[in-house]
Amino acid sequence: MNRVYLDNAATTPLSEEVVDAMVEVMKISYGNPSSTHSFGQEAKALIEGVRRNIADSLKVQPAEIVFTSCGTESNNLIIKSCVEHLGVERIITSPLEHKCVAESVRDMKARKGVEVVYIRPNHQGDLSLDDIEKALQSSDKKTLVTLMHANNEVGNIYDIKAIGELCKKYNAYFHSDTVQTIGHLDLDFSKMNIDFASCSAHKFHGPKGNGFAYIRKSTKLKGMISGGGQERDMRSGTENVVGIVGLGKAFDLCIQNLEIYKNKIQEIKDYTIHQLIDKIKGVKFNGRSSEAENSLFTLVNVLLPFKDPLIGFKLDMKGIAISQGSACSSGAAKPSTVMLMLLTDEEMENCTPLRVSFSHYTTKEEIDKLVEALVSIQQDFK
């Protein structure tokens, strides 16, 4: 059976060039980057080269890039350290955030008594800048705003430049979970009032277990892991040199091919939407995922006109890997917080949400196989 992978928002396959770069490091650069001898300094040079390349692309200082294990660690570090070390007493966020952000915020509320203000989305998953400004105006407490750049389930892209300007106006810190956009969009942090951001390499064909946090130097944020003082005392522990090189190679490939990949994936996304509309009567799309503007080109969130909680399993049996929501937690399929916020009770009762996410490896033939399988499954409900 030729298997089809359409869950790239959860993770992406490693690029062959990334694998080659990592294997080369495993063979010859095995020194500890904290060691002062030549073996260690060679490893250290590899890390610093990746750091400089990422910083140059994002238009920030190299010292503001801190390597971590993933976006989850980066988000935990930023949110919890803002409370622990910067005296944040209030967090403005939304119910649409990734679970690692949502749980970190809840943890700070429970353990530190932080006030939490939620910006409620409309039925399309949009957040109102007016609502954000009203929330910022309503208190003089030291505030952190944590709002993602793009939603990992419905693909809505939020105006983090405008949000950053509001945060600057009201003297609030601004953190954005950029896991779904770094490596896919051309980002210039020097033009945004953004204090903190996060990245996971495996979202753009890099290795799992590697990511970074962008931490604006002027914030003076402190690390949460004590030890040997690696990563400028922001994240102690021996660095994963192999993984960092893999992250760097994947990042470089995506930035170098940004427009090529974007155009190819957007074509696949458009083809998917058209095929679904043509073959499945009554199909709808959640959030702004079917739109060309203000939406990630890497995914579309489909609302199928029949209820089938086992659809992910059925598609998997047909060799098609797909998601019914976020892959931020394991277990049986159940409605995500995002879907509960955006869908009506009637839609929750009678329809099935499905996230289809693409990479530059995705083909139209794979989309045809998906649509054919969905048509076959729909026949069981007629």
Question: How does pLDDT run across 38-82, given as a tens digit for each residue?
Answer: 999 999 999 999 999 999 999 999 999 999 999 999 999 999 999
Q: In what order do the strands lie in the sheet with 352-357?
A: 284-285, 299-304, 352-357
Every domain range in the chain assigned CATH 3.40.640.10: 16-253
Task: Specify whether the CB–CB gap between 99 and 71 falls below 8 A.
Answer: no
Q: What percent of the chain has pLDDT over 90?
A: 94
Q: Report the pLDDT averaged over residues 227-253.
A: 96
Q: Which residues pair with 354 in a beta bridge?
A: 302
When the pLDDT of each residue in the chain is averaged and rounded to a whole number, the result is: 95
Q: Report the pLDDT averaged over residues 207-232.
A: 96
Is the alpha carbon torsion for 54, 59, 63, 65 positive or negative?
Answer: negative
Three-state SS string across 87-126, please?
A: CCCEEEECCCCCHHHHHHHHHHHHHHCCEEEECCCCCCCC
Cα distances from 120 to residues 81, 115, 127, in angstroms, run 25, 16, 7
Q: Which own/partner contact pairs does 128-137 have at CB distance under 8 Å and 24+ positions apart?
A: 129/159, 129/162, 129/163, 129/166, 132/92, 132/163, 132/166, 133/166, 133/170, 135/92, 136/92, 136/166, 136/167, 136/169, 136/170, 136/172, 137/170
- Any idea how long the chain is? 382
| pLDDT score of 326 | 56
Q: Report the pLDDT averaged over residues 154-183.
A: 98
Q: Report the pLDDT averaged over residues 2-8.
A: 96
Q: Return the residue matching tokens 């937690």.
A: 329
Cα distances from 104 to residues 72, 87, 97, 117, 297, in angstroms, run 10, 16, 11, 14, 28
| pLDDT score of 327 | 52
Every domain range in the chain assigned CATH 3.90.1150.10: 4-12+257-379
The CATH architecture annotation of domain 4-12+257-379 reads Alpha-Beta Complex (3.90)
Task: Give residue 332's pLDDT band: very low, low, confident or very high (50, 70, 90).
Answer: very low
The CATH architecture annotation of domain 16-253 reads 3-Layer(aba) Sandwich (3.40)
Is it the case that residue 330 has pLDDT exceeding 80?
Answer: no
Is it the case that residue 328 has pLDDT exceeding 60?
Answer: no
Is it the case that residue 329 has pLDDT exceeding 70?
Answer: no
Is it the case that residue 308 has pLDDT exceeding 50?
Answer: yes
Task: Specify whether the CB–CB gap between 137 and 167 falls below 8 A.
Answer: no
Is it the case that residue 194 has pLDDT exceeding 90?
Answer: yes
The larger pLDDT score, comparing residue 54 to residue 330, is at: 54
Task: Collapse the DSSP code of 68 into the 3-class scheme (helix H, G, I; strand E, B; otherwise coil) and give the result.
Answer: strand
Question: How does pLDDT run across 254-283, given as a tens digit for each residue?
Answer: 999 999 999 999 999 999 999 999 999 999
**DSSP per residue, 187-233:** --GGGS---EEEEEGGGGT--TT-EEEEE-GGG----S--SS-TTTT
Q: Report the pLDDT averaged over residues 280-309.
A: 95
Q: Looking at the annotation, which residues are catalytic? A: 328
| pLDDT score of 292 | 85
Question: How does pLDDT run across 74-103, given as a tens digit for each residue?
Answer: 999 999 999 999 999 999 999 999 999 999
| pLDDT score of 351 | 95
Structure tokens at 11: 């993770």
> Can you give the pTM of this predicted structure?
0.95
Task: Specify whether the CB–CB gap between 339 and 285 falls below 8 A.
Answer: no
